[in-house]
Amino acid sequence: MPSLPLAGSDARTVETTGPAQQESCQEALTGEDPMFETQYEALRRQGISRRSFLQFCSLTAASLGIGSAGAKDIAEAMETKPRTPVIWLHGLECTCCTESFIRSYHPVAKDLVLSMISLDYDDTIMAAAGHQAEAALEDTIEKYKGNYILAVEGNVPLNDDGVNCIPGGETFLRKIKHVAAGAKAVIGWGSCAAWGCVQAAKPNPTHAVPITEIITDKPIVLVPGCPPIPEVMTGVVTYILTYDRLPPLDRMGRPKMFYGQRIHDKCYRRAHFDAGQFVEKFDDEGAKLGYCLYKVGCKGPTSYNACSAIRWNEGLSWPVQSGHGCIGCSEPNFFDKGSFYEHETTVLPPGWGGIEATADKVGLATLGVVGVAAAAHVAMSAVSQARAKKTNKDIGGKGSSSKPPSLNDGGADLFKRVTFDQVLKSVESSRER
């Protein structure tokens, strides 16, 4: 299997001569098949100390919300499990997901790509090109059929049989079907893969569709965002490699540990929202004082993501902290929901403004108007948990008998406690007040 070096790697480039090439670069350099080298062995070979390794495991477990027990699981998995082959395909997209991924600071993307997985094909960042690259792809499919992970960045255009996206001389539509057939699980990177994003925005001339409309028989985890947070991307990969199953998913197929809460829930401007203190325009006094950006278009109250908790650029900042409202890029069809700078008027009840109120009361008062999706998000937790159990069986989670804890477990219990009748009763009561 030609596991070719990535651009910028310190591995020596091994000359290959076309499809007949059968040895990977690592095999040529070390005499070992990377599939059978453990993640820990690869890290040690690169000079990573035991202390740094354990720190990596602890920090990764913390970012996943699985605690100290999770750190032990990650360490054990990396010490005993062989690296997993990954094929990374690109459809209609701008490559922002890759740009985000390679700039991850924890866990370091270099360590993840070169040590935790065997990235055998990524036509954007691999050194090989042309026939050499396609030979690597086919060798990986043949050698590790049923054992590799397919990562997809971008959506699939269907117009004119997929002629609008032709990588490697064949349509992306045909290519993704071919590669997905032998994958054990699929990761959809970014809102393009998850929802279609800008290419699928009206009028959608290429008839671009998310990967879930093409791949229907494989376990899929969606990691939306434009782009997703790099630590979310690496965290999802780490979880899958550690537990050999997909993480707990919400009703839309997103990992709950990262997409289980609204951006609004942990926003540092939340207190200003509760107090009715809003920025009216970007250069007013409220903007200087750090007031809530809801009235200038912030979609934080209706968007599920971890931006307000993890942030960007080594935790330095995120859009709302930098003075720009959330555009809701992790939500479906966000390009078709109007201007990024117009607020969603249905989030706040008519006539509300300036009074002391909690965001929870605000949500109850408008549940009948825009809360259907929010109510479904809670109610369908029970369904998603049942679906997750089946998915984990499909992917083959035989390694660990104990289910790791999740930050957002308990959805099924909540569903048992709260009925729609009770919710609607609360709505009416709130409106009367």
16 neighbors 132 (Cβ within 8 angstroms): yes
Tell me which of 31-40, 157-166, 217-226, 305-314 is least confident.
Answer: 31-40
What are the structural domains of the chain? 84-258 (3.40.50.700), 263-370 (4.10.480.10)
- Does an H or E element contain 231, and which? helix 230-243
- Higher pLDDT, residue 250 or 429: 250
Give the least confident one: 206-210, 273-277, 324-328: 273-277
What pLDDT score was predicted for residue 331?
93
Query: Distance between CA 26 and CA 383 in Å, rounded?
Result: 44
Question: Between residues 70 and 382, which one has the greater pLDDT?
Answer: 70
Both tokens assigned to 124? 């954007």
Mean pLDDT of 245-264: 92
Q: Which of 7-21, 114-128, 199-213, 412-426 has the highest mean pLDDT?
A: 199-213
Amino acid at 115: S
Residue that has been written with the tokens 């369904």 in this structure = 383
Answer whether residue 68 shows pLDDT above 80: no
Structure-model confidence comparison of residues 165 and 110, the more confident one: 165
Cβ neighbors of 150 (< 8 A, separation 6 or more) are 86, 87, 89, 179, 180, 183, 185, 186, 187, 218
**Which residue, 199, 261, 258, is CA-closest to 233?**
258
| Whether residue 23 has pLDDT greater than 70 | no
Please compute the mean of the pLDDT values over residues 62-82 and round it to a whole number: 80
pLDDT band (50, 70, 90) for residue 71: confident
Query: Which among 392, 57, 398 has a CA at the least distance from the CA of 238?
Result: 57
CA nearest 301: which of 366, 237, 248? 366
pLDDT band at 379 (very low <50, low <70, confident <90, very high): very low
Of 2-6, 295-299, 361-365, which gets the smallest average pLDDT?
2-6
Considering 9-13, 136-140, 380-384, the range whose residues carry the highest mean pLDDT is 136-140
Res 330: pLDDT:
94
Output the pLDDT for position 115: 63
Residue 339: count other Cβ atoms within 10 Å of its Cβ. 8
Percent of the chain residues topping a pLDDT of 90: 36
Determine the Cα–Cα distance for residues 322 and 313; give it in Å rounded to an integer: 12
Mean pLDDT value across residues 310-325 = 90
Q: Reply yes or no on whether the pLDDT at 393 is more than 60.
A: no
List of E strands, 180-219? 183-189, 208-209
What pLDDT score was predicted for residue 345?
A: 57
Highest mean pLDDT among 54-58, 111-115, 332-336, 348-352: 332-336
Alpha carbon 238 to chain centroid distance? Answer: 12
pLDDT at 20 over 90: no
What's the pLDDT at 414? 35
Residue 73: its pLDDT value, please?
Answer: 87
Is the pLDDT at 370 greater than 50? The verdict is: no
- Residue with the bigger pLDDT between 116 and 54: it is 54
- List the structure tokens of 369: 């108007």
Q: Would you state the pLDDT for residue 346?
A: 52
pLDDT of 88: 92
> Do residues 176 and 211 make contact, with C-beta atoms less than 8 angstroms apart?
yes
- In tens, the pLDDT along 266-287 reads 999 999 988 889 999 998 999 9
* pLDDT given for residue 288 in this prediction: 93
- Cβ(224)–Cβ(255) below 8 Å: no
